[in-house]
Amino acid sequence: MATNKGEYSFSTCWNIKEHTVGREMIEEIRSLGFQRVELNYNVTTDLMKTIEPMIHRGEMGVSSVHNVFPFVPDKRFDTDSVMLGFEEKELRERAVELLLGSMEQAYRFGAKAVVVHPGEVPFETNIDEELKRIYKTEGRESEAYQKVWEHMLAKREADSPAYLARIRDSLEEACGYAARKGWDVAIGIETRSRCYQIPTLKEASDMIDSLQGAPVYLWYDIGHGTMMGRMGLYDNVKEVREMKHKIVGVHIHETIELSDHWCPYVNSKDSSGFDVFLDIIDAAPIKVYEIKAACTAEDIEESHGIITSKIAALTGSESGSAL
């Protein structure tokens, strides 16, 4: 039988492809013991027709929504896009408009944050896919990997300042509008899963510092951070510890080699590797499992039990913090 998951939330990414009726999708998540959900970017207006009444009746709380929400069938603004960093004024204005729509929905549902993929440095080909292929076949230290990596990094470092500046301006604009509307909703800029995507942990930290006074924080995706650390983009554990106080939320999942969204401890069979993130999970105001469909309800229950038991042993008390 599923235990009550308390303050922990659960992303709809786990079962959204299995349902055409939103209520049934949420009820399945409730059966896992969760009282809160993160409504992810694939949740459609049609699905929300039966989810929204559940929220208003108090049958399910919403911890967070994931921009763009609800789903917008426009590839220019999907989760792997230039998004808030577009050079074209009209596209950037539309991206800001979509973010504000997500923030408004979050405010209406009592959610505390919107998870945002702020942008990327565009490449003509998917260089991240190429790097991951070489990583798996020849290794990170191979000559082939290093050659492609150096090319990627040079272009990323040369082009990122302009994209970062536009992303910063977009976030400032969105926060200003939200403040005037009285929306008490944080923006969490998320660590990403592709090496050319923004932000790195340093980029996130610098952007948050430059927007002091605005409700912009880091949304630390543990699996993505692990992946980027393994590929060599940044020192994942060291850097995230340095900005622990800037985290508004976490996506909880484990990366096995370069495959992410697995249940920590259970799918990897690694009983200790994930331990380095337990204090970060404990301190995070919003805690969301972002688990792939391949993980079973039994996997999720076992993983949660291990995580909470380890945190309790670490802290000597029940884990928890409130935003």
Domain count, the chain: 1
What is the reported pLDDT for 95? 98
Go through 289-307 and write b for each residue having 16 or more CB atoms within 10 A of its CB, e for each that does not: bbbeeebeeebbbbbbebb
CA distances from 138 to 87, 98, 131, 145 (A): 37, 41, 10, 8
The pTM assigned to this predicted structure is: 0.96
Cβ–Cβ < 8 Å for 205, 168: no
Residue 318 tokens, joined: 């029940």
Average pLDDT along the chain, 323 residues, taken 10 residues at a time: 94 98 98 98 98 98 98 94 97 98 98 98 97 98 98 98 98 98 98 98 98 96 98 98 98 98 98 98 98 98 98 77 41
Burial (CB < 10 A; 0-12, 13-18, 19+), residue 318, is exposed
Owning domain of residue 117: 9-315
Name residues whose C-beta falls within 8 Å of residue 176's C-beta, 6 or more positions apart in sequence.
Answer: 214
What DSSP string describes 257-288? TTEEEEPTTTTT--SSGGGGGHHHHHH-SEEE
User: How far is 211 from 171, CA to CA, in rounded Å?
Assistant: 8
Whole-number Å distance between alpha carbons of 152 and 82: 17
Distances (CA, A) of 166 to 35, 84, 98, 209, 260: 37, 7, 16, 16, 29
109 close to 182: Cβ distance less than 8 angstroms: no
In a domain, 189, yes or no: yes
Could you give the residue ranges of the DSSP H alpha helices within the chain? Answer: 22-30, 45-56, 89-108, 127-137, 143-181, 201-210, 222-231, 236-242, 278-283, 297-315
DSSP-based three-state secondary structure for 44: coil
- The gap from C-alpha 8 to its chain's centroid, in whole angstroms, comes to 15
- CATH code for the domain of 261: 3.20.20.150
Q: Is 323 among the domain residues? A: no
Q: Which residues contact 265 (CB under 8 A, 6 or more apart)?
A: 254, 271, 274, 302, 303, 306, 307
Residue 218 domain flag: yes
Quote the pLDDT of residue 318: 52
Residue 1 is predicted with a pLDDT of: 73
Residue 1 lies in a domain: no
- The CA dihedral of 215, 105, 10, 45, to the nearest 10 degrees, is -150
Residues facing 287 on adjacent strands: 250
- 3-class DSSP state for residue 110? coil
Do residues 84 and 114 touch, judged by C-beta distance below 8 A?
no
Cis bond upstream, residue 70 (ω within 30): yes
The model's pLDDT over 206-240, given as tens digits with 9 standing for 90+, comes to 999 999 999 999 999 999 999 999 999 999 999 99
Beta bridge partners of 115: 66, 188
